[in-house]
Structure 1
Amino acid sequence: MPLVDMSLDKLHAYQGRNPRPEDFDAYWERALEEMKAVDPQVELVPSAFQVPFAECFDLYFTGVRGARIHAKYVRPKKEGKHPAVVQFHGYTGHAGDWSDKLVYAALGYSVLSMDCRGQGGSSEDTGGVKGNTHHGHIIRGLNDHEDNLLFRHIFLDTAQLAGIAMGLPEVDPERVGAYGGSQGGALTIACAALEPRIKRLAPIYPFLSDYRRVWEMDLAANAYAELKTFFRHFDPQHKREDEIFTRLGYIDIQYLAERIRGEVMMGVGLMDVTCPPSTQFAAYNKITAPKSLEIYPDFGHEGLPGFGDKTVQFMLGL
């Protein structure tokens, strides 16, 4: 089998290269306290798009630092409490079409699909950081205090949205799942780590993991290109390299993965040169909750045939 990364046996044993900050747990406990202190001021606005068996709403809530976050909310027309899934999109994208939420609504599930702040949807990015704001969200706030890293706020948005879903009167809070691919896969992991009541999660080739490994493989391109941008502009001789990768460790999902309590089904393509397989395994191998892996040897960062169907079947277990 051709390889772009380690052999499969080495991938199953791999534990990551990026440094973990010593105060990682305290960092996220402080972040969660900030999130819990926010009044979300949830608002539901009926959408122009409607279908006979469900109601569609634009849902808005206030996240950390005052950003107004948008999500598409599809609620089935049925009596009593029912399960829900939260959906997260790929890097720079948005929540997508209403129609791709209807499978779950037809099954009697509510669906909440978040627009990441500052990307392609309707959520706000309140900004306010020192340093680069032109190339990418990974490095947004990297020259500022670590509490100002943009992906810190986005990770908190995912947990806050899941908590809002669990608090809706029509949703059974013990039957909530999460799924998404690439950035959406990373946010699925972050969501379930920061809101451990998530019962089932299905991340696909998660982004935002093991940054130093990406750098050492010379794959700081495509989604990770901003790492190279940062060093070229702000540390051209790499005198701060250890400091920078340690700071990125605060938003490295491999270290959040340890906090997951829900059951995990993860999809990975072994020919992925956008999010290298080893970086994905670094996160997967740290999950101590029940987990399974769906491996696609010949596929890269692309649609994984059948994984969408497997995800639906997996979420039927909520």
Structure 2
Amino acid sequence: MAPFAHDFPFDPAYGRTLDELLRIPAPPAPDGFDAFWRARYEEARKVATEPELGPLEEERDGVRIHGVTFTSVGGVRLGGWVALPVEEAAEYGFVIGHGYGGRREPGPDVPLPLPRAAAILPCVRGMGARGLQPGIPEAADAHVLYGIGSRDTYVIGDCVADVWCAASALYELVPGLADGSGGSGGAAMAGGSRLGYLGESFGGGLGALALPWDERFGAAQLTVPTFGNHPLRLTLPCVGSGEAVRGYHREHPEVVEVLRYFDAATAATRLELPTLVAAALFDPSVPPPGQFAVYNALAGERELLVLSAGHFEHAGAAAEEAELRGARRGFFGRRVRGGG
């Protein structure tokens, strides 16, 4: 069934057809799921992020890229990059999540899907050169287990808070995004918001967990999102961080009760924003059944782009990346109201 030759000791297509993937449900929410996340969100919104913009590091794709630092929950100071339009005031903003392993440079995340857009590209705690923190392991298979013994200490919850605080930092750096005055066009995305989210793999999973509770966002695009349907993921071998969780579960089966609060598919049942998901049929790192569980669970307007593979180099990868860039531009462009 696998569409690509490979040497993995398992089938990265997991024997599922597209029709079967489109029927994979989300697990039910545990007691207190919504209250848990709303409380975490309120805590993050109280943080004085105090962003500091660094000197210009690069100019390309119509934006000037600066380093940035900001404060997140627990007083943790994180870094990353901010992209600001060269020629016009920013009318839109994006928070751009990263994959496991973090980012050590802004990477190919620009050009942005809307003109006159600014973006913050944070490194969440423990990840990448600008998110490193004492005691939090940087390696994905160790990071994903950090604090996993309790829903209140699990690092994934703090990483979600880092996304919220990154949005707060961008609002402070580009005040027009928050007060509605941004730029000259007066256009906005869904619900009057000027803020969008982009996230891939780890960043896609964090987005699904973060966005249902944050009214500042108007639309989102998630690529091969992780953390979807943990009960099913625990049965599927992979080469990504999920395999570390599977190994931990074999020794600590009670961890399923913690994972229920960090299930991206469960959270997606609360996600009402227009959302474009790019999900892969073949992926050795993030099993496709979990990716499609996130898409299937979305509570609001949704669009799907099916990729032949994720986390896997293949002959058609460049063409699919170009198709995704075009789909992303069209998706956000259709959600702009009042101009833009």
Q: Common fold, TM-score beyond 0.5? A: yes
The answer to whether the 8 A contact 1:20-1:246 is kept is no
The whole-number CA distance in structure 2 between the counterparts of 1:299 and 1:48 is 33
| Offset of residue 134 of structure 1 | 9.2
Match of 2:292 among 253, 259, 281: 281
1:128–1:57 distance in 2 versus 1, CA, 3 Å:
closer
| Offset of residue 53 of structure 1 | 5.0
Secondary structure of 1:216's partner?
coil
Q: Deviations over 1:241-265 (max 9, x none)?
A: 2x31121111211122123232111
1:266–1:95 distance in 2 versus 1, CA, 3 Å:
farther
The whole-number CA distance in structure 2 between the counterparts of 1:222 and 1:199 is 30
Per the alignment, residue 8 of structure 2 pairs with: none
1:207–1:214 distance in 2 versus 1, CA, 3 Å:
same
Per the alignment, residue 186 of structure 1 pairs with: 205
The whole-number CA distance in structure 1 between the counterparts of 2:223 and 2:234 is 21
Q: How many residue pairs end up in the alignment?
A: 303
The whole-number CA distance in structure 2 between the counterparts of 1:128 and 1:93 is 13
Match of 1:22 among 31, 47, 51: 31
The whole-number CA distance in structure 2 between the counterparts of 1:120 and 1:104 is 22
The answer to whether the 8 A contact 1:15-1:285 is kept is yes
The answer to whether the 8 A contact 1:67-1:124 is kept is no
The answer to whether the 8 A contact 2:273-2:301 is kept is yes
Q: Deviations over 1:147-175 (max 9, x none)?
A: 11100000111122123334422434722
Tell me which amino acid in the other structure corresponds to 1:122. Answer: R
Match of 1:260 among 241, 251, 271: 271
Q: How does 1:96-111 map to 2 (within 5 A)?
A: 96-97=105-106, 100-104=108-112, 107-111=115-119
Q: How does 1:20-169 map to 2 (within 5 A)?
A: 20-50=29-59, 53-94=62-103, 96-97=105-106, 100-104=108-112, 107-125=115-133, 127=135, 135-143=141-149, 145-167=150-172, 168-169=174-175
Secondary structure of 2:57's partner?
coil
Q: How does 1:153-232 map to 2 (within 5 A)?
A: 153-167=158-172, 168-171=174-177, 172=182, 174-217=193-236, 219-231=237-249
Unaligned runs of 5+ in 1: none
| Offset of residue 110 of structure 1 | 0.7
Secondary structure of 2:142's partner?
coil
| Offset of residue 52 of structure 1 | 9.8
Secondary structure of 1:13's partner?
coil
The whole-number CA distance in structure 2 between the counterparts of 1:48 and 1:291 is 36
The answer to whether the 8 A contact 1:196-1:260 is kept is no
Secondary structure of 2:203's partner?
helix
The answer to whether the 8 A contact 1:197-1:261 is kept is no
The whole-number CA distance in structure 1 between the counterparts of 2:73 and 2:241 is 25
The whole-number CA distance in structure 1 between the counterparts of 2:101 and 2:140 is 13
Secondary structure of 1:14's partner?
coil
1:214–1:54 distance in 2 versus 1, CA, 3 Å:
closer
The answer to whether the 8 A contact 1:184-1:206 is kept is yes
Tell me which amino acid in the other structure corresponds to 2:227. Answer: L
| Offset of residue 231 of structure 1 | 4.0
1:87–1:134 distance in 2 versus 1, CA, 3 Å:
closer
| Offset of residue 51 of structure 1 | 5.4
Per the alignment, residue 314 of structure 1 pairs with: 331
Q: Deviations over 1:64-89 (max 9, x none)?
A: 11111212101113444511222111
Per the alignment, residue 187 of structure 2 pairs with: none
The answer to whether the 8 A contact 1:162-1:195 is kept is no
Q: Deviations over 1:124-155 (max 9, x none)?
A: 435489xxx99422221122x42111000001
Tell me which amino acid in the other structure corresponds to 2:151. Answer: E
TM-score by length of 1: 0.84
